[in-house]
């Protein structure tokens, strides 16, 4: 594919009417091209830049995302292409406060289960991996293999992301709250959270907000005195000018004026985003690696 063909494909994926057959042809055309580009380092960078727009368009459309993951994540040779797509899909999903509802009606049971396993093995955002898992449970409520996969993977997500999983399942926007597996997992996570809060904690964790601010102010003054002495003794620091941005109850820039420090306030828009890291990464990364490797092979392997 040249740049014009890739741009035409991006337009079709972004603005074209959704047609199952045509969409499958478009996604199928990307896979062999991506495999060939991986073997050609000279064109790989330009190809990746052109492909980025197509992957972004796929990640924003649930039907395309489901079809692409079921086609690429289930084929070992196309897993790198699926991983690039997940990088875009994760950014879209992490802004949500509930599991993503996905249309899995056109995906076979074997494909849906394998994708669910590999999503969990790659530490995909819980919004997406949990959404795929619960969408699969709701689409095939009477299938035994689906129920076994849901039970196993839901426990894995609850173990790796306990706080995030509980928040997503208890969200008012969650459409899967009536599933028995969700209700059982929520009950277990609530009990675990209550037991964790009842355990003894270090005194540092019991500090109030004002105490933390006071402690941070003392440490900041101490560090500032150390840096001021360092600058006074450094020849290099006499030749350059440093400027820092301070974040507290308000944002301000620190301006050094000889021995005095002035703070110029700035107007900024508040934004925050929390992300829970997998529990295995901070407890036993080696065991976590082997668990993810086993999940990547699929069920019963």
Interatomic CA distance for residues 267 and 252, integer angstroms: 8
pLDDT digits (tens, 9 = 90+) for 248-265: 566 667 777 666 777 777
Please give the C-alpha separations between residue 37 and each of 41, 52, 263, in angstroms, as whole numbers: 7, 14, 52
CA distance 42 to 144: 48
**Residues 6 or more apart whose Cβ sits within 8 Å of residue 3:** 50
Distance between CA 168 and CA 97 in Å, rounded?
A: 6
Mean pLDDT calculated for residue range 104-125: 91
* Radius of gyration of the chain, Cα coordinates, nearest whole angstrom: 25
Q: Dump pLDDT digits (tens) for 55-87.
A: 888 888 888 899 999 999 998 888 888 888 998
Report the 3 state secondary structure along the chain. CCHHHHHHHHHHHHHCCCCHHHHHHHHHHHHHHHHHHHCCHHHHHHHHHHHHHHHHHHHHCHHHHHHHHHHHCCCHHHHHHHHHHHHHHHHHHCCCCCCCCCCCCCCCHHHHHHHHHHHHHCCCCHHHHHHHHHHHHHHCCCCHHHHHHHHHHHHHHHHHCHHHHHHHHHCCCCCCCCCHHHHHHHHHHHHHHHHHHHCCCCHHHHCCHHHHHHHHHHHHHHHHHHHHHHHHHCCHHHCCCCCEEEECCCEEEEEEECCEEEEEEECCCCCCCCCCCCHHHHHCHHHHHHHHHHHHCCCCC
Give the pLDDT of residue 202.
75
Per-residue confidence (pLDDT) for residue 129, from 0 to 100: 93
Looking at residue 191, its pLDDT comes to 92
Most trustworthy range by pLDDT among 5-19, 103-117, 193-207, 282-296: 103-117
CA distance 30 to 28: 5
> From the centroid of its chain, how far is CA 19?
29
Predicted TM-score (pTM) of this structure: 0.75
Return all residues near 261 (Cβ < 8 A) that are at least 6 apart. 224, 254, 255
What is the per-residue pLDDT across 164-179, written as a single tens digit (0 to 9) for each? Answer: 999 999 998 999 989 9
**Order of strands across the sheet with 251-257?**
244-247, 251-257, 260-266
**pLDDT value of residue 154:** 93
């Amino acid at each position: 594919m040249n740049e014009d063909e890739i741009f035409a494909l991006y337009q079709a994926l972004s603005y074209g009417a959704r047609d199952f057959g045509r969409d499958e042809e478009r996604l199928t055309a990307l896979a062999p091209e991506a495999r060939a580009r991986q073997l050609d380092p000279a064109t790989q960078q330009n190809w990746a830049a052109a492909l980025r727009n197509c992957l972004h368009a796929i990640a924003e459309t649930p039907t395309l995302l489901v079809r692409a993951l079921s086609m690429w994540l289930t084929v070992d040779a196309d897993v790198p292409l699926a991983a690039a797509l997940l990088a875009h899909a994760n950014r879209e999903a992490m802004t949500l406060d509930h599991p993503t509802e996905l249309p899995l009606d056109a995906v076979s049971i074997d494909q849906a289960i394998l994708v669910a396993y590999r999503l969990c093995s790659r530490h995909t955002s819980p919004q997406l991996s949990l959404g795929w898992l619960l969408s699969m449970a709701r689409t095939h409520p009477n299938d035994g293999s689906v129920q076994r996969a849901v039970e196993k993977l839901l426990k894995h997500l609850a173990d790796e992301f306990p706080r995030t999983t509980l928040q997503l399942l208890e969200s008012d926007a969650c459409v899967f709250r009536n599933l028995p597996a969700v209700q059982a997992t929520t009950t277990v996570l609530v009990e675990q959270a209550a037991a964790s809060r009842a355990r003894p904690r270090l005194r540092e964790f019991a500090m109030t907000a004002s105490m933390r601010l006071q402690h941070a102010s003392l440490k900041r003054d101490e560090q500032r005195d150390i840096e001021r002495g360092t600058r006074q003794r450094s020849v290099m620091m006499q030749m350059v000018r440093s400027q820092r941005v301070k974040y507290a109850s308000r944002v301000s820039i620190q301006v050094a004026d000889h021995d005095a420090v002035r703070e110029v306030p700035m107007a900024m828009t508040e934004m925050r985003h929390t992300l829970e890291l997998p529990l295995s990464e901070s407890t036993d990364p080696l065991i976590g690696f082997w668990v993810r490797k086993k999940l990547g092979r699929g069920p019963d392997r």
